[in-house]
Amino acid sequence: MSSIRARLTRAWTGAFLLTLFLFSLTLLAVRRETLYRELEARVQLEADQAVRAINVARNTGTEPVMAQKNRLEGPSIGMRMSAFLSLLEGYVLVQDSTGYDIYASPAVQALSAADRDYFSTAARKSEPDRKLREVKLYNDQLLLATRVVPLSDNARYRVYAGLSTANISFTPAELMGPMFVITPLLLVLSVTFAYLIAGRAFRPIDELIDQVEAITDGRSLHSRLGVTAAGDELTRLSETLNAFIGRLEKSFGALRRFTADASHELKTPLAVIRADVERAISPTTNETEQAIALEEALQQVTRMADLVDSLLTLARADEGRFDLFREPVELMPVAREVLETARLLGEDQDLEIEAPVLENAEVLGDLTRLRQLFLNLVTNAIKYTPRGGRVEISLAREEDVVRFIVKDSGIGIAAADLPHVFERFWRADLARSRASERGGWGLGLAISQWIAQAHGGTLEVQSRLTRGSTFTVTLPLAGSPGSGMTGEFQSIVNIESLVAEDAT
């Protein structure tokens, strides 16, 4: 496969040859036109000089202008006038008033009888003006000019002067001769010039390719391409590639973390299941211990099934293959249902669950997913709020949006950890990860964020360490400009933004 440099060189060479060909045609046409105009001027000058020669001969000397040789030969110009006219080149013919030839130059006399008769006839038909006329002979073609010389006795001479157009026969062969010598040299210079210029133009791209190859080996994604200050297309390309490499680095990092975290999260329940199964099948284990072991194994299997289901949900969201049902949903009943569930879950920890504001609002969305979103946030707050704490739920309309807010008095999140809250499998620290005996997988908030964004809304968090956290879901009301759910989840959720957590 040829390189772009080679293709550009060939294109340049082809364009150069085409330009040279068109230039040659133009030069040929211009040269022929120039020669023709020069010939026209020479013919006009020839005719004027013939008239001047006749006038000079008439006004000087004593020899008569006309000499009568005999009746058969007719009249002819005298020797003095003939001498003057013989100095002219080309075809010169002088006729008297009756149309009789009284002078013919040697070129006219050399014509064949047929050509001379045709020349004389064509001359008599021409008008005595400044216009030129082309006369085609058997072996030649003339450009003819006509003049009239008045005489004293009301007679007049008609003077015809012509030159052969062979004088302007500038043929393509005459042009191609020099061109065949010059063109190979120009072609070699052109190809060399084009190849060098293309190489120089593509040198920065070659360097860019080398840098990209060095970076995208999977181990150097932290590096970036050098960006010039030229502000040209290469600068834009470098900036675009740097942005792409940055996203690629985040994606690879997220993928590595995801693989490591998933392996770690699955390792513990699998170890527990193995231990429980080994204990259950041990000959020394009684029926009660077997039942306890199998129950523990079942709990771990249930947790693993929940993990797989969450991962499948996020994977489908990544690929944009997760369908949501779009229908009007009243949020008040959903909020009340979640509130009752929260109160049941908080009883064991003596939590105070309150809902100071619950305003009815209608959105377009998927009832099941919206319930999952609200429940994820509430259970997350309960999970990380110490015994005797407080969890506050509110649902309030504001202009063309509705906000579902979950505020707790839990252990909170450090400011440095807030940017990572929505990363998959992320939990702030070991103490927070163990704050609940039911510790989650770290996927709940990733799913919650996806649900909010898929409904055209947002999920935000505010938190201070030991001061509690506040999660706010903002959704457009039904009928508002942003109420349509997004259909392309790949643009909403990706491996960088769909980050996860059960814990705040």
Count of CB atoms situated within 10 Å of the CB of 450:
26
Q: d(Cα 167, Cα 142) in Å, to the nearest integer?
A: 10
- Tell the CATH topology of 233-318: Helix Hairpins (1.10.287)
Q: How many CA atoms lie within 13 A of 446 on its CB side?
A: 31
Pairing of strands 133-136, 141-150: antiparallel
On the 0-12 / 13-18 / 19+ scale of CB atoms within 10 A, 129 is exposed
- Name all contacts of 32-36 with Cβ < 8 Å and 24+ positions apart: 32/168, 32/170, 35/167, 35/168, 35/170, 36/165, 36/168
β-bridge mates for residue 468, sequence order? 464
Q: Where are the alpha helices (DSSP H) in 60-171?
A: 79-85, 106-109, 113-125
Q: Supply the pLDDT for residue 440.
A: 57
Residues 72, 74, 76, 79, Cα dihedral to 10°: 40
Q: How far apart are CA 17 and CA 353, in angstroms?
A: 86
Tokens of 103: 């002078």
Among residues 54, 55, 49, 80, the alpha carbon closest in space to that of 67 is found at: 80
Q: Are 501 and 423 in contact (CB under 8 A)?
A: yes
Structure tokens at 369: 């997913």
The answer to whether 25 and 172 are in contact (CB under 8 A) is no
CB atoms under 10 Å from CB of 351, counted, come to 23
Q: What are phi and psi of 451, to 5 degrees?
A: -60, -45
Q: How many CA atoms lie within 13 A of 82 on its CB side?
A: 15
| Cα-trace Rg, the chain | 52
For residues 338 and 349, what is the distance between their CA atoms, to the nearest angstrom? 17
Topology given in CATH for the domain delimited by 320-476: Heat Shock Protein 90 (3.30.565)
- What are the DSSP calls for 20-48, one per residue? HHHHHHHHHHHHHHHHHHHHHHHHHHHHH
Say if CB 382 and CB 342 are below 8 A apart.
yes
Two tokens, residue 65 = 């202008």
Give 118's contacts (C-beta < 8 A, 6+ positions apart).
135, 137
CA distance 103 to 28: 38
| Tokens 């163990």 belong to residue | 434
Task: Give the residue from 357, 349, 306 showing the smallest Cα distance to 332.
Answer: 357
Do 233-318 and 320-476 show the same overall fold?
A: no
Give residue 64's pLDDT: 45
Show the CA angle centred on residue 136, arms to residues 132 and 141, nearest 5°: 75
Q: What is the pLDDT along the chain (504 residues), one digit of tens a residue?
A: 467 777 788 887 888 888 888 888 888 788 888 888 888 888 888 888 888 888 877 776 544 444 444 444 444 566 767 777 777 888 888 888 777 788 888 888 888 888 887 777 777 776 666 677 777 776 778 888 888 888 766 778 888 888 888 766 666 666 666 777 777 887 888 888 887 887 777 777 777 777 787 777 667 777 777 777 666 777 888 888 888 888 888 777 777 777 776 776 677 778 888 888 888 898 888 888 889 888 888 988 887 887 777 777 767 666 665 667 889 999 999 999 999 999 998 888 899 999 998 898 999 999 988 998 999 999 999 988 999 999 999 999 988 999 999 999 998 888 888 888 887 666 655 444 444 444 556 678 888 898 899 899 999 999 988 889 999 999 999 887 766 554 433 333 333 333 333 333
3-state secondary structure of 226: coil
For residue 477, the 8-state DSSP code is P
Per DSSP, the chain holds a count of helices (H) and strands (E) of 11, 14
Q: Rounded to an integer, what distance in angstroms lies between the CA atom of residue 373 and that of residue 353?
A: 18
95: helix, coil or strand?
A: strand
What is the three-state SS of 444-471? HHHHHHHHHHHCCCEEEEEEECCCEEEE
Residue 334's CB: how many other CB atoms inside 10 A? 19
305 HSE (CA, 13 A, CB side): 6
Domain ranges of the chain: 4-168, 233-318, 320-476
**Chain centroid to CA 393: how far?**
51
Q: Which CATH architecture has domain 4-168?
A: 2-Layer Sandwich (3.30)
Distance CA 212, CA 226 (A): 10
pLDDT (0 to 100) of residue 446: 83
The terminus-to-terminus CA distance of the chain in angstroms comes to: 55
Residue 320's pLDDT is what? Answer: 62
